[in-house]
Amino acid sequence: MPDYFVPWDTTMISPYFNRIFGTDSHREFIMDYLEGHKKEFDDMTFEQYYNNYVVSDAMLQNLIKLAEKNKVPFDEEDFNKSKEYLKTLMKAHMGRTLYDDNAFYKVINDINEVYQQATKLFDEAEKLAFHFDEAEAQ
C-alpha cells in the first residue's frame, strides 16, 4: 500500500465516452477541426492556448454528429455525465497535436487527482527525507 492513496474518480467516465474514444471519433474530429481552423492557432503560443482556449459546446455537438456517423449512438445521460471531462481531454489531445506531449500533460494534469495530490506532498517529502537523513546520522 502506498504512503498516500488517491482514489481514482471514475464518475465522469461513461460507456458513451468510452465508445467515442474506442472508435477514435475524437481523433478524427480533432484532425478535421484543426485542419479547418489552422489560422486560429497559427500565432497562438501554448501558454495562450492553455490559459484561454475553451472547447465549446458547439465543438462537442459536432463531435456527437461525427460519433453518430461512426455508429456511436448518442446517449444524453452519459454525455452529460462526461461532458466536462470530455472537454478537458479534447483540449489536451488538441494541445498534443498543436504543440507536443508536454502540452497534453499540462492540460490533463489540471484534472489528474494523483498528480494534484503529489504536488501537495512535496513539503511532506522534504520533511521525511530530512528526518531520514537525521536518523542515519545517529
Q: What is the pLDDT of residue 9?
A: 61
Q: What is the pLDDT of residue 81?
A: 92
Within-domain flag for 135: no
Within-domain flag for 10: no
Total domains present in the chain: 1
Q: What is the pLDDT of residue 71?
A: 97
Enclosing domain of residue 64 = 15-111
Q: What is the pTM (predicted TM-score) of this model? A: 0.80
Within-domain flag for 84: yes
Within-domain flag for 105: yes
For residue 106 the three cell numbers come to 499540462
Q: What is the pLDDT of residue 40?
A: 94
Within-domain flag for 8: no
What Å distances lie between residue 64 and 18, 32, 33, 69, CA to CA?
Answer: 13, 14, 13, 9
Within-domain flag for 89: yes
Q: What is the pLDDT of residue 120?
A: 74
| Rounded Cα gap, residues 53 and 46, in angstroms | 10
Q: What is the pLDDT of residue 122?
A: 73
Each of the 138 residues of the chain gets a pLDDT tens digit; together they read 556 666 666 667 889 999 999 999 999 999 999 999 999 999 999 999 999 999 999 999 999 999 999 999 999 999 999 999 999 999 999 999 999 999 999 999 987 777 677 777 777 767 766 665 555 555
Q: What is the pLDDT of residue 127?
A: 72
Within-domain flag for 1: no
Within-domain flag for 117: no
